[in-house]
Structures are given as C-alpha cells and as structure tokens.
Amino acid sequence: MTKAQACREHRLSASLVDRWQSQFRESGKESFSESASEETDHLRRIAQLEQALGQAHLEIKILRDALLKKGGRTGS
C-alpha cells in the first residue's frame, strides 16, 4: 500500500504520516508508546463526557416534560 492509499483509506494527511515516520526513525517503537497511553486517556475522557451529556439530556427532557404538565394543569 502506498502512503497516498493509506492516507485516503484512514483519512490522514500526508504530513502527519511523514511526521510519524520521522518519529519512528528517530526513536523506534518508543516514540509511540506515550501517544498510545494519551489516546487511551482521551478515549476515556470522551466516554465520560458522552455519559455526562446523555445524563444532561435526560434531565432536560424530564424537566421539560414536568413543566409542560404543570403548564397544562394551570391552563385547564
């Protein structure tokens, strides 16, 4: 697979792949070990934020429904 094919398939910029290649040439596998742990931390944080967002949406829906029911009762 060429670099261009890999970039298209994985939606990466060629400059990013060049930087990764350069880092690998300089430090070998160690150049990516920290990046992998950072990515894991980022994915964990994204999951936490998605959960918090879901909870906030649920709370908003409950409050909105309660307000609509209260408004409907007073208007009758």
- Give the Cα separation of 72 and 69 in Å (integer): 5
Q: What is the pLDDT of residue 29?
A: 78
Amino acid at 70: K
pLDDT tens, residue order, the chain (76 aa): 899 999 999 999 999 999 989 988 988 877 777 666 788 888 999 999 999 999 999 999 999 999 999 886 654 4
Q: What is the pLDDT of residue 74?
A: 52
Q: What is the pLDDT of residue 38?
A: 80
Q: What is the pLDDT of residue 76?
A: 46
- Give the Cα separation of 18 and 24 in Å (integer): 10
Which ranges of the chain does DSSP label H, i.e. alpha helix?
3-10, 14-27, 30-75
Q: Quick one: which H or E segment has residue 12?
A: none
